[in-house]
Amino acid sequence: MNEWGDGTRCVHAGLPEPVPGQPFLPGPVFAAPYHLDPWQGPAGGPNGYGRPDNPTRRLLEDAVGELEGGDCRVFASGQAAITGLLLTLLRPGDTVLLPSDGYYTVRAFATGTLEAMGVRVVFVPTAGPYPDLAGVRLVLVETPANPGLDVVDVAALADRAHAAGALLAVDNTTATPLGQRPLDLGADVVVASGTKALTGHSDLLLGYVASRSTELIEAVTGWRNTTGAIPGAFDAWLAHRSLATLDLRLGRQSANAEAVAALLAGRADVTGLRWPGRPEDPAYAVASAQMRRVPGVVSFDLGDADRVARFVDAARLVVAATSFGGLHTTADRRAQWGDDTPPGFVRLSCGVEDTADLVADMAAALDAAGAPA
């Protein structure tokens, strides 16, 4: 399957062998308990109880695992996946490096939970510089970082981590496995929110962990099954259904981001523009060498919160919403959630609208928003 293109891989990922009279993707299996063999018990079949066992969930895990290039376990949300990974791997006395510019709820979890259980937490900017990794148990990076979009050289950092005896985990939420495959670059484990671009329809919560290490996957599986952080069967089915259009969605979103970045770059009333696909972006050199495609997320600053509100209010195709990677273009003023970003900072997630329509709408909305205060 690896010799196929992205679109083909997405359409066929995780599908069972064709059976006459059956659907391409079997419908969700809703079950808490399953029938057991009265003689063999749970050894008589793959399904015993719905928390550890569900065929719909296993098909989705096969699909995401094919795209990431490793074994996969899905979780109820991206936060469930990343906290499950951290709590599986870290023990009192361990040191973990986390991105200081990454997802703020992961940072809050680190300071509120990991430090309280005796884990030493060190925050490092995604782009570095990284300290000496001697004695570090785990390095977690988010690349491109959310929301600032900095990028780190995964292969180089993997070499450094492994030389020091540390594991490298990569949050692949923003890029998706079509943007980059961290396991191919030397990472030990991938973690991501499938809520966003992976499934892309803004209608479910999902997370996953992927790795080529049997030991690590078994440990994560044990944690998930014990804590019960599983997605429901219908969410798993919706996610698998949505994977088929991932290549198409990302293609339009990335094209829209390129056009939007060009628009914003030409405006004196917009500052702090970041999109790693621009040759002028500080992350461009690493991103262009490491990533197969750049995601449809752009960040910039409109100066103040009121101007952001005026811009979104004037737009017809840009709506105020958090999260990213969906079909609709959304603007999220990150400071309103407690993220340590300037009050006018915007994370714009480009949807799949016609490029010309989106650019024209944003230009008119920026004009209508007036100058910063």
Cα separation values, 92 from 108, 110, 113, Å: 18, 13, 11
Question: Tokens in use for 338?
Answer: 């407690």
Give the closest residue to 110 by CA, choosing from 132, 86, 127.
86
> Can you give the pLDDT at residue 151?
98
Question: Tokens in use for 292?
Answer: 């197969």
Model confidence at 317, in pLDDT bands (50, 70, 90)? very high
SS3 label, residue 270:
coil
Question: Tokens in use for 316?
Answer: 């017809």
**Percent of the chain's residues with pLDDT above 70:** 99
Which of 216, 243, 270 is the last residue before a domain boundary?
Answer: 243
- 168 and 138 fall within a common domain: yes
Report the alpha-carbon distance of residue 59 to residue 191 in Å, rounded. Answer: 18
> Can you give the pLDDT at residue 2?
60
Which of 33-42, 170-179, 195-204 has the least mean pLDDT?
A: 33-42
Is the per-residue pLDDT at 1 higher than 60?
no
SS3 annotation, 145-156: CCCCCCCCCHHH
For 163-192, what is the mean pLDDT?
98
Tell me whether residue 1 is in a domain: no
CATH at 80: 3.40.640.10
Tell me whether residue 313 is in a domain: yes
Give helix 233-243 / helix 55-68 axis angle, nearest 10°: 40
For 47-65, what is the mean pLDDT?
96
CATH at 309: 3.90.1150.10
> Can you give the pLDDT at residue 339?
87
| Sequence-ordered strand ranges (E) for the chain | 71-75, 95-99, 120-124, 138-142, 167-171, 189-193, 207-211, 271-274, 297-301, 318-320, 329-333, 345-349
- 148 and 80 fall within a common domain: yes
> Can you give the pLDDT at residue 131?
97
For 256-283, what is the mean pLDDT?
98
Tell me whether residue 275 is in a domain: yes
- 194 and 206 fall within a common domain: yes
**Percent of the chain's residues with pLDDT above 90:** 96
> Can you give the pLDDT at residue 264?
98
For residue 343, cis peptide bond before it (omega within 30 degrees of 0): no
> Can you give the pLDDT at residue 164?
98
Domain span including residue 283:
247-369
- 286 and 231 fall within a common domain: no
- 98 and 113 fall within a common domain: yes
For 94-114, the pLDDT digits (tens) are 999 999 999 999 999 999 999
> Can you give the pLDDT at residue 372?
87
The residue written with tokens 């049997």 in the block is 214
> Can you give the pLDDT at residue 338?
87
Model confidence at 133, in pLDDT bands (50, 70, 90)? very high
- 357 and 229 fall within a common domain: no
Indicate the DSSP class of residue 328: S
Is the per-residue pLDDT at 189 higher than 80?
yes
CB 170 within 8 A of CB 154: yes
- 238 and 251 fall within a common domain: no
Indicate the DSSP class of residue 323: S
Report the alpha-carbon distance of residue 173 to residue 155 in Å, rounded. Answer: 18
Is the per-residue pLDDT at 309 higher than 80?
yes
Number of domains in the chain: 2
Is the per-residue pLDDT at 180 higher than 60?
yes
Cβ-based neighbour number of residue 88 at 10 Å? 17
- 167 and 154 fall within a common domain: yes
Tell me whether residue 301 is in a domain: yes
Partners of residue 76 on adjacent β-strands: none
Partners of residue 301 on adjacent β-strands: 271, 345
Tell me whether residue 53 is in a domain: yes
Phi, psi of 295 (to 5 degrees): -70, 170
The residue written with tokens 């419908």 in the block is 27
SS3 label, residue 257:
helix
- 197 and 175 fall within a common domain: yes
- 46 and 79 fall within a common domain: yes
Tell me whether residue 148 is in a domain: yes
| Sequence-ordered strand ranges (E) for 212-275 | 271-274
- 169 and 254 fall within a common domain: no
Which of 221, 243, 265 is the last residue before a domain boundary?
Answer: 243
* Average pLDDT along the chain: 96
Which of 211, 243, 275 is the last residue before a domain boundary?
Answer: 243
